[in-house]
Amino acid sequence: MNQLPTLFGVINYEFRMQFRRRALWITFLCIALLFLIRGGIHFFLVFALSQPLLPLVANWARSLNFLLPIVAGVLLADRLARDRKTRVDELFTSTPGALSVRLAGKYVGSTLATLLPIFLFYSIGVGSILYQTHNVMTIPYALAAFATISLPGILFVSAFSIACPFLLWVPLYQFLFVGYWFWGNILSPHNGIPTLSATILTPVGGYMASGFFGDNQQLIVNATVMQGVESLLLLLGISLLVMVVLWQLMKWEQARQ
C-alpha cells in the first residue's frame, strides 16, 4: 500500500489540529509580551548600527532560540498522550496506515504548526532589521539563519517532546525539559556543574550562529564552519534517532498487547 498519501494526510491534519489550538497562540502572545517588557525588539536591535548584517540576523535568530523553543517543547509534549486520552490510537491502529508513517506525520505536522508563531515573531524582528538597515539582503540572510540556527533546535526539541511523554508523565517531562533547557543552554560552563551549554549538542544554535554567520556575541566564539555543520547534523541526527527509537518502542508495546 502506498503510504505517501497517508503521510501527507497525517501531516495536514496534525498541522491543522495544532494550528487551531488557542493555547498555542495565547502562549506565544504572552511570551511576546514578555519580550516587550524586556524592551521589545529594539533591545535586540540596539546592535543594528554597530554590527554587520549577517551576524546581526544570526544574533536575532539565536536570541529567540533561548526562549521560544521552551514553549514549543512544552506545547508539543501532550500530542502523543492526547491520542491515548481521546482513544483515537485504538482506532488508528486498526487502519492500514503504518505506525511509522503516522508518527512521522505527527512529528512533522505538529512541529510545523508550532513553528508558525515562532517564525511570525522572528519575521517581525527581521522586518525591523530591514527597516533599520534598508538592506534587502536581510531577507535571504534571515531565511538562512532561521533554517540553520532556529530550525534544527526546534526539530531537536520537538522530537524529545513527542517521544519522552510516551514513557514519562507529561507534567514531569515538562518540568524536566524546562530544567534541562536552563542546564543545557543557559547555565555557564564556569559554574562548576558539568553542562551541555556551549557544546555542539546545545540546541540554541550557537555553533551555527558563530560558524556560519560570524555571530560571536555569545558563549561560543569563532567557531568554524565545520563545527557549525557538526552541530547541525548532530541535532538533526539525534532528532531522527529519537523518533526511530519511539517508533520501535511503540511497535514493541503494541506487540505485547
Partner 1 sequence: MFLDRLRYELKLMGKRVILTPVLVMLGFALIAIFLHTRAEDPSRTLSASLEIILPLATGIVIATITSHDAAIELQLTMPKKYDRTVLRRLIIIFGWTVCITLLSSIIIYALKFWYIPLSSPSESVTLQFLTQVLTWIAPLLWLVGIGVCLALLLRSRSASGALIGGIWIFEIIFKDYIAATNWLHPVFLFPTTLLPMVGTIPQVYFNLWLTTRFELLGTALVFLLIGWLLLRNPEGLLKTSSEE
Evaluate whether 121 touches 68 at the Cβ level (below 8 Å): yes
> In whole angstroms, how close is the CB of 137 to partner 1 at the nearest point?
29
> In whole angstroms, how close is the CB of 41 to partner 1 at the nearest point?
15
Q: Which is nearer to partner 1, 7 or 209 (CB)?
A: 209
Q: Which is nearer to partner 1, 8 or 183 (CB)?
A: 183
**The one-letter amino acid at 165:** P
- CA 103 and chain centroid, separation: 17
Q: Which is nearer to partner 1, 105 or 117 (CB)?
A: 117
- CA 61 and chain centroid, separation: 12
List the one residue out of 151, 93, 94, 141 whose CA is nearest residue 118: 151
Q: Which is nearer to partner 1, 160 or 212 (CB)?
A: 160
> In whole angstroms, how close is the CB of 215 to partner 1 at the nearest point?
17
Q: Which is nearer to partner 1, 30 or 120 (CB)?
A: 30
What is the spatial distance between Cα 53 and Cα 204, in angstroms, rounded to a whole number?
A: 20
- Which three-class secondary structure string do you get for 38-87? CCHHHHHHHHCCCCCHHHHHHHHHHHHCCCHHHHHHHHHCCHHHHHHHCC
Interaction site with partner 1 (CB under 8 A): 20-24, 26-27, 30-31, 34, 37-39, 66-67, 70-71, 74-75, 77-78, 82, 169-172, 174-175, 177-179, 181-182, 186, 192-193
> In whole angstroms, how close is the CB of 196 to partner 1 at the nearest point?
15
> In whole angstroms, how close is the CB of 191 to partner 1 at the nearest point?
8
